[in-house]
Amino acid sequence: MDTLLPFKKSAPLTIGLELELQLVDLHHFNLVMEINDFLRRLSEISHTGTIKPEITQSMLEINSSVHLSYLSLLNEVEELRGILVEEADQTHIGICGGGAHPFQKWKEQRIFQTERFSSFSEQYGYLAQQFTVFGQHIHIGCANAEDSLYLCHAMARYLPQFIALSAASPFHQDVDTTFDCSRLTVISAFPLSGTPPWILSWQEFKTYYQKMLRLGVVKSMKDFYWDIRPKPEFGTIEIRICDTPLTISRAVDLVAYAQALARWLLEKRPTLCRDIYLTYLINRFRAARYGLEAILIDPIQQKNILLADDIVQTCNQLESQAINLGSQDALTRIYIMAVERKNDAAWLRKQYAELRSLNDVVRSQTEIWRYGEGSEKKCSH
């Protein structure tokens, strides 16, 4: 039976990300189960970070190294993107972001055979195949375990912002779901999703973890599919609520936003209030359903607020933090998203309105992943 790993010493506010990506064929633009051969070819190429499989064979995950700054993270992930795109070209595979493939059928997916994934499939049945959805995880370094628990609860107030800002899964199983983020409906099916328990000291958390181990509920920290969780082996917190964005730049902007927010929270130390969880699930739902147009319920102030306006206020609050961290440009882009109320879900719906084909929508996703924003001008349709 595993014990909880010691909380690794980590430089505060270091950053890293994980991105789950789609592998698609370049004819029909459906998911293609080519991860084994693709990984074999990538293993022959020297690169930083890691590239590895995910739960089903049409998924690829990239993990960055640890970084101090937004710009160095951006440079590394862009380099990884270049390696992936070049190798994909050689194998006639397309790669794209997005939180869910618009028309793949979950029953056709096959589990990538590792001991962990096979155990997961045995435990969760068809949900394991439905787990062919694609998320971004953001890591923020913490000086100690107590800070990690503080940030997990302090960040909960802001997690609906990350849902709406990253939302990129309006289409799922051949339909417009009417959600900006349909991926969360899949995640919510798992019994250990949601939020961590209201525990504020690491000693209490260790006691809780040992109880869950003895009861057979979990085998390791990886079995907690919380929206945010401490990651003791890395010395970080891990924000797990985001869809994979359509571009590298948006993914890294979200990391920079999380870093600035964490810096502000650790500096100002606003008092934690358990009442934030009174409305967390409804706010989470609304952010997934309506995106930047969602109306949040603030249980502390006892008022409603437009989610986009909440992001604008937060951006104004974080301006000095972003200046100190060198991520002003990223914060400005987040601010503009909120003001214009345009996220990746809106972009995907616009593409479908123009192209009238989900196959062509996925094609446009591979183009914007390759070239970034403005790719529709660089690539003929």
Q: Where along the chain do its domains lie?
A: 15-372
User: Is residue 41 pLDDT above 80, yes or no?
Assistant: yes
pLDDT value for 188: 92
Least confident of 100-109, 232-241, 275-284: 100-109
**Lowest mean pLDDT: which of 1-10, 175-184, 210-219, 347-356?**
1-10
Mean of pLDDT over the chain:
93
Give the Å distances, CA to CA, from 228 to 26, 32, 219, 260, 306.
Answer: 35, 30, 18, 17, 23
Single pTM value for the model: 0.95
Structure tokens at 248: 């590298």
pLDDT at 55: 83
In the predicted model, is pLDDT for residue 309 greater than 60?
yes
Q: What are the tens digits of pLDDT across the range 58-99? A: 999 999 999 999 999 999 999 999 999 999 998 889 999 999
Of the pLDDT bands very low, low, confident and very high (cuts 50, 70, 90), residue 372 is: confident
The pLDDT assigned to 2 comes to 65
Cβ atoms of 252 and 325 closer than 8 Å:
no
Whether the pLDDT of residue 3 is over 50: the answer is: yes
Decide which of 1.20.1250.20, 3.30.1280.10, 3.20.20.70, 3.30.590.20 is the CATH code for 15-372: 3.30.590.20
Query: Which amino acid type is present at position 86?
Result: E
251-288 pLDDT tens trace = 999 999 999 999 999 999 999 999 999 999 999 999 99
pLDDT at 378: 45
Instruction: Quick: pLDDT tens for 320-369.
Output: 999 999 999 999 999 999 999 999 999 999 999 999 999 999 999 999 99
Structure tokens at 370: 């390759």
pLDDT(379) > 70: no
For residues 345 and 111, give the distance between their C-alpha atoms in angstroms, rounded to a whole number. Answer: 27
186-223 pLDDT per residue, tens: 999 989 999 999 999 999 999 999 999 999 999 889 89
Q: Return the amino acid letter for 321.
A: Q
